[in-house]
Amino acid sequence: MLRLPPFTYLQPKSVRQALRMKTDAGANGMYVAGGTDLYPNMKRRHQEPKVVISLAGIRALGRITGGTRGSELSVGAGVTLTELHTHPRVRNGYSALARAAELVSTPVLRNMGTFGGNICLDTRCNYYNQTYEWRKAIDFCMKKDGEICWVAPSSPRCWAVNSSDTAPVTVALGAEFVLVGPDEERLVPAARFFRDDGINYLTKHPHEVLTEVRLPPLDHWDATYWKLRRRGSFDFPVLGVAVWIKWDGGLVADARIVLGAVASYPKEVPEAAQLIIGSELEDDVIEAAAAAAYKPSKPMDNTDFGLAWRKEMTRNYVRGTLQELRTRRKD
């Protein structure tokens, strides 16, 4: 079996304690929640923390509150994906999020994996998610231990993919993240939490703890999430499409279309959303939006399936999500 490298495991009982431990450990310390991303990565020597600080014992991170009568829904970062997608208020009001969470990996992983961990998920690439020996055989890559990007050898940057299922939905819904650091607490809109960089993929400081996700109150909006992958379970997305629409009567008053798994961050395509605002989602409008989303969808050759096909599917998926929302139009 691949073995974990040796490390010290700490179990704080509060966020404050966790922050102190992280400050003490410095760059050698890392947070872990469910560990479904971090531990496999440590086995492959992607991350090599000497001190692992578990957030699993912090009660405060496991709550779901609000979401009734026009209030925001607050979801603790430590809520597991299973809890998230089975929670009645999430299922009823925030079905796109429930759906994204339910589509993550397998039941076993969802029982361990958390919402916060899913949002902070390391970017992925099939030159990177490999054992140390494998990576050694291609002389590593710039994301870890090497110099070059094998996906785009002339590129100065890493194109590893944001492969979280819930991340694009949080951006589409306009969620806000609560980040707590040693000195301050800040509220960051989901869209500004992610960065278009395979290596530095979050704007979060390494010492900050993501404690809570705030989802906007229910108010004549609707949303959905479609995931493309090889198999009906287990697999990361090779394309995700999250769409949020605010209805005004039969018309689209506002919209956001977000593509997952085709870039290092959940990629909003405002040029496509712009086309549907003011429309009733007529067929030709949907077609135009699908075409507009297709253009900036630029997957690279670093996931399952070929990039041309994944790009092509963007059109189908945007069309499909918009058609779904049209049939469910909320007045």
Ligand X SMILES: Cc1cc2nc3c(=O)[nH]c(=O)nc-3n(C[C@H](O)[C@H](O)[C@H](O)COP(=O)(O)OP(=O)(O)OC[C@H]3O[C@@H](n4cnc5c(N)ncnc54)[C@H](O)[C@@H]3O)c2cc1C
Minimum distance, C-beta of residue 170 to other proteins, in the bound complex (Å): 24
Q: Which is nearer to ligand X, 115 or 127 (CB)?
A: 115
Q: Could you tell me the two tokens for 40? A: 């496999």
- Smallest gap from Cβ 250 to other proteins, in A, equals 27
* Contact between residue 204 and residue 195 where contact means Cβ atoms under 8 Å apart: no
- 95-103, 256-264, 287-295, 312-320 -> range binding other proteins (CB under 8 A): 312-320
Cα distances from 69 to residues 61, 89, 93, 217, in angstroms, run 23, 11, 11, 8
**Options 46, 85, 87, 143; binder of ligand SF4; rule CB under 6 A:** 143
Partner from other proteins, ligand SF4, ligand X, none contacting 97, C-beta within 5 to 8 A by type: none
Out of 302, 303, 314, 321, which residue is the one contacting ligand SF4 (CB under 6 A)? 302
- Does 128 sit near ligand SF4 (CB under 6 A)? yes
Residue 70, amino acid: G
Q: What is the dihedral of CA 74, 79, 84, 89, to 10 degrees?
A: -30
Residue 265 interacts with ligand SF4 (CB under 6 A)? no
| CA dist., res. 40 & res. 330, Å (int) | 43
> Which residues are within 8 A (CB) of 108 and not within 5 positions of it... i.e. 6 or more apart?
none
| Lookup: tokens for 188 | 């960051």
Q: Decide: is 187 part of the binding site for other proteins (CB under 8 A).
A: no
Residue (of 129, 204, 113) closest to 164 by Cα position: 113
In sequence order, which residues have a C-beta less than 8 Å from that of residue 169 and are 6 or more positions away? 96, 97, 100, 223, 225, 242, 258
283-294 helix and 307-327 helix, angle to the nearest 10 degrees: 150
- Choose the contact partner of 2 out of ligand SF4, other proteins, ligand X, none; CB within 5 to 8 A by kind: other proteins
**230 interacts with, out of ligand X, other proteins, ligand SF4, none, CB within 5 to 8 A per kind:** other proteins
Which position among 31, 94, 115, 159 is part of the footprint of ligand SF4 (CB under 6 A)? Answer: 159
What is the per-residue binding string for other proteins in 108-137, x denoting contact by CB under 8 A? ------------------xx-xxxxxx-xx
Residue 309 binds: one of other proteins, ligand SF4, ligand X, none (C-beta under 5 to 8 A by kind): other proteins
CB 254 within 8 A of CB 238: no
Q: How many residues bind other proteins (CB under 8 A)?
A: 30
Q: How far is the CB of 159 from ligand SF4 (least distance, A)?
A: 4
Write down the least CB distance from residue 242 to ligand X, Å: 12
Q: Which amino acid is at 326?
A: R
Closest residue by Cα to residue 77 from 141, 166, 169: 166
Query: Where does this chain bind ligand X (CB under 6 A)?
Result: 30-38, 40, 55, 77, 81, 104-105, 109, 112-114, 116-118, 120-121, 163-165, 209-210, 234-236
Query: Where does this chain bind ligand SF4 (CB under 6 A)?
Result: 125, 127-128, 141-143, 149-151, 158-160, 198, 302
